[in-house]
Structure 1
Amino acid sequence: MPSQLKTNDRLSGRPPGVVILGGAHGTLALARSLGRQKVPVWLVSADTPLPRFSRYAHKTVTWSGPEHGGAVAFLLKLAATEGLGGFLLIPGGDPEVKLVSQSIDQLSAVFDVLSLPWEQLKWVCEKPLLYRRARELEVAFPLTYEFASLDQAVAAEIRFPVVLKPNMGGGSRLAREKAILANDRASFLAAYRSAADEIGVENVVVQEMIPGGGESQFSYAALWNRGAPVAEFTARRTRQYPVDFGYTSTFVEVVDEPRLIDIARRLLGSIAHHGLVEIEFKRDPRDGSMKILDVNPRPWSWFGLAAAAGVDLGAMLWAIKSGRTVQTVSARPDTSWMYLVRDMVAAGTLITRGRLAKRAYLSSFASVRAWATFSASDPLPGLIDMPLTAWRVLTRRILRIR
């Protein structure tokens, strides 16, 4: 853990409130964390409506989205008409991260922006650049194939299975799926052609498939302030939905993985990171190495685990912005987060495949201290999300597979 952070005790520079752009479960958890600090939270979203049902959402605004040509002008006008000047601006999704980072000069004239300029941030957001930086820092990452054209992909010698991913998250089908598995050349070429047509060859990443499931997936989660970690902890993303390539984590538990902290500090220190961040890793059973997969400089789906584990990153962020001292804390062990509806489906699949014992699944509930959507003090998002999620799982996955 980093040493205690010393900050100015003056409160006069504290932002009057927070604007969060986009995001879903991570945004909801962050809004709750800030709301408990009596912070006015504004939500601006073009997609999921879930966070707006929170009692901690002071006001919600619908817009055309971060990829719309007038996005920056919309935010500047919103600030002017609603009196949001000086508010802390936090991107909650990948497209929002890119918009804010690339427009930081314009937005910083009105907002207190929690981001880095794109020239720095792109080295962890764009996967080809991330892996180049990882190579420079001697950080392990999966075997990655680089193609400049469809013809190169057709002619390449590839060791299957491979995974197709977007260069960076966004609104495309590949970004929504997060990963597409190809077990042979025919399925690879079909998926690659489709992805390249949609987002361009330069935005399609092809990687080896590292063996193992959720039990091999780990994360580093932290808050950084001007190039140094304020608070950090590690977790295992034990179960995910779908089970082979998770659209989202469903059961995440605090674990002690010091190797991840060392890797993350080297990587994030190289860009002088500033803000929230989660880094995804997968342990390769073939050599035991922790291979970096992705970096998310925004609230992530299981962000609520932080507060439950005693490392309330949202409250710490606000303390820093308020000029207060942030004390060093350690994440409580045996603390977990669960996305109940999706985890029931994931666990059922794993039990059917013989990869999870029923007793082990039931015992995992004992450590759950945070839920993806439900909170006793803020119940409405959970009550709304459960039937919606069940319907999506049924119609988009189970019935489609059948």
Structure 2
Amino acid sequence: MKPGAVVLGGDYQGLGIVRSLGRHGVPTLVVDDERSIAPASRWAGASLRVPGLRSDEDVIEALSLARARFGGLDGWVVFPTRDENVAALSRHRDLLARSWRIAAPPWDCVRVAWDKRETYRLAQKLGVAAPRTWFPLDGDDLDIPAPAIVKPAIKEHFFYATRAKAWRADTAAELRRHYERAAAIIPAGEILVQELIPGDGQFSYCAFVKDGEPVASMTVRRTRQHPSDFGRASTFVQTVPLPAVEEPSRAFLRAMGYYGLVELEYKLDPRDGDYKLLDVNARTWGYHSLGRAAGVDFAYLLFRDQIGAAVPSANARDGVSWIRLATDVPNAVVDLRAGRVRAGEYLRTLRGIDTEAVFSWRDPLPGLYEIALLPYLAVKRGL
């Protein structure tokens, strides 16, 4: 039987994986602990709702349940879409690899992306530019210039409690208040304080990497995100030539000995012209389906490599755009009211969109499902 893929998470990111593989005839099973849209795709073979996917035990139990329910899944490739699922698969790779192919890097790689303290330490060691970052152990270590941001070293320990990636502090008093709020949620040792880089120049280097070297890559400008200040997810993205981030990204991935799909997020600092490394995502990213429209079908490339097939090298075309209207439009309304965006400028970006995160004329049901699920998604995960 031809091997298929188990996709952990059925939101628009998981939908992108299902469509990527399904177009090539790869059967898929979507496993999720939420109501989601990917099972509605014409290319989704089956779906399974499980009680949870948050902990390591949840992920192992979900895969065991999938084997018991459907059978015949030996050798199927497991695609994670959330950081905590990547960590679970990596930490238990030896156990899970007896039955599955694990499309996630080894734990030594994931650990560097999972814990931002490790991310910034490696960046400093390699000379990769990053925002100035402090690691205060208590309230007495807050002699830090504002404006600054308070953020977690390990996102999952913070995000599910706050639905925020970071908090902005414009004064010393705000910094102390946010630090104390964070300390009530996560251990003090996991709290980072980072300088606030001005401007909105958000960029990324995306790649399929093998033995630390990129086989296929894409560089993008993340023009808009939701929310606008410290976005949980991009809403409008375009491929652009970006040689300035290619070499530092390659050096970082080479030092990690990386394998798999990865996104490195940067912000252009207008004060010195450097692209500063913000984050490393050791998995598919929200707009990975932009790659297929630009000539780099990331999920399918990883699948081919997992089953031992040849993987051609590729670079994305420039000038290709991606949007997620369900979050981009509401966010734009907020920004228009606040005077951060002009209506004409925003409308011009909507012309000639190459691919939408969910809606597709060839696969319309997920788009209709998303409209029906919008109230649920707004409450459950803030979209």
TM-score higher than 0.5 here?
Answer: yes
2:225 to 234, 240, 243: 240
The two structures have a TM-score, normalised by structure 1, of 0.87
Bigger shift: 388-397 or 31-40?
388-397
Distance in 2 between residues matched to 1:275 and 1:175, nearest whole Å: 30
- List alignment gaps of at least 5 residues for structure 1: 1-13, 398-402
Bigger shift: 195-204 or 75-84?
75-84
1:92-129 per-residue CA deviation (whole Å, 9 max, x = no partner) reads 10110111111111111111112222123212221000
Distance in 2 between residues matched to 1:102 and 1:87, nearest whole Å: 19
Amino acid at match of 2:45: H
Does residue 13 of structure 2 align to residue 26 of structure 1?
yes
**1:98-177 → structure 2 map (5 Å cutoff):** 98-148=87-137, 152-170=138-156, 172-173=159-160, 176-177=163-164
Q: CA deviation at 1:165?
A: 2.0
Does residue 220 of structure 2 align to residue 198 of structure 1?
no
Does residue 284 of structure 2 align to residue 299 of structure 1?
yes
Amino acid at match of 1:16: P
Q: CA deviation at 1:393?
A: 6.0
Amino acid at match of 2:207: A
Q: CA deviation at 1:251?
A: 0.6
Amino acid at match of 2:183: A
Q: CA deviation at 1:333?
A: 2.1
Aligned position for 2:67? 79
Amino acid at match of 1:109: R
1:225-268 per-residue CA deviation (whole Å, 9 max, x = no partner) reads 23321100100000112211212211101111012111111111
Distance in 2 between residues matched to 1:341 and 1:76, nearest whole Å: 34
Bigger shift: 302-311 or 220-229?
220-229
Note closer, same or farther for the CA distance 1:197–1:298 as it changes in structure 2 (3 Å cut).
same
1:181-210 per-residue CA deviation (whole Å, 9 max, x = no partner) reads 122233333322232222222222221111
Amino acid at match of 1:316: L
The two structures have a TM-score, normalised by structure 2, of 0.91
Q: CA deviation at 1:322?
A: 4.6
Amino acid at match of 2:230: F
Bigger shift: 197-206 or 165-174?
165-174
Give the superposed CA RMSD: 2.4
Distance in 1 between residues matched to 2:60 and 2:381, nearest whole Å: 34
Amino acid at match of 1:200: P
Aligned position for 1:229? 214
Note closer, same or farther for the CA distance 1:70–1:323 as it changes in structure 2 (3 Å cut).
closer
Q: CA deviation at 1:278?
A: 0.8
1:54-75 per-residue CA deviation (whole Å, 9 max, x = no partner) reads 2222122222223164542442
Query: Is the Cα contact below 8 Å between 1:95 and 1:169 reproduced in 2?
Result: no
Distance in 2 between residues matched to 1:376 and 1:169, nearest whole Å: 35
Aligned position for 2:365? 380
Amino acid at match of 1:269: R
Query: Is the Cα contact below 8 Å between 1:163 and 1:206 reproduced in 2?
Result: yes
Query: Is the Cα contact below 8 Å between 2:101 and 2:306 reproduced in 1?
Result: no
Distance in 2 between residues matched to 1:24 and 1:189, nearest whole Å: 36
Aligned position for 1:259? 244
Aligned position for 2:302? 317
Q: Secondary structure at the match of 2:111?
A: helix
Distance in 1 between residues matched to 2:132 and 2:7, nearest whole Å: 35
Bigger shift: 262-271 or 221-230?
221-230
Does residue 28 of structure 2 align to residue 54 of structure 1?
no
Query: Is the Cα contact below 8 Å between 1:76 and 1:107 reproduced in 2?
Result: no
Q: CA deviation at 1:169?
A: 2.9
Q: CA deviation at 1:175?
A: 6.5
Aligned position for 2:331? 346
Distance in 1 between residues matched to 2:314 and 2:6, nearest whole Å: 27
Q: CA deviation at 1:179?
A: 1.7
Note closer, same or farther for the CA distance 1:76–1:39 as it changes in structure 2 (3 Å cut).
same
Bigger shift: 384-393 or 165-174?
384-393
- List alignment gaps of at least 5 residues for structure 2: none
Aligned position for 1:39? 26
Note closer, same or farther for the CA distance 1:43–1:80 as it changes in structure 2 (3 Å cut).
same
1:311-365 per-residue CA deviation (whole Å, 9 max, x = no partner) reads 1112222333454433333322221111113212333344444443333222212
Amino acid at match of 1:163: I
Q: Secondary structure at the match of 1:367?
A: coil
Query: Is the Cα contact below 8 Å between 2:56 and 2:88 reproduced in 1?
Result: no
1:33-76 per-residue CA deviation (whole Å, 9 max, x = no partner) reads 01111111112222352222222221222222231645424424
Aligned position for 2:202? 217
Q: Secondary structure at the match of 1:368?
A: coil
Query: Is the Cα contact below 8 Å between 1:222 and 1:231 reproduced in 2?
Result: yes
Distance in 1 between residues matched to 2:378 and 2:228, nearest whole Å: 13
Does residue 338 of structure 2 align to residue 356 of structure 1?
no
Query: Is the Cα contact below 8 Å between 2:148 and 2:194 reproduced in 1?
Result: yes
Distance in 2 between residues matched to 1:43 and 1:391, nearest whole Å: 19
Q: Secondary structure at the match of 2:99?
A: coil
Tell me: higher relative CO, structure 1 or 2? Use CA pairs within 8 A at least 6 residues apart.
Answer: 1
Q: CA deviation at 1:385?
A: 1.8
Q: CA deviation at 1:280?
A: 0.6
Q: Secondary structure at the match of 1:97?
A: helix
Bigger shift: 294-303 or 47-56?
47-56
User: How many residues are aligned here?
Assistant: 379
Aligned position for 2:262? 277
Q: Secondary structure at the match of 2:163?
A: helix
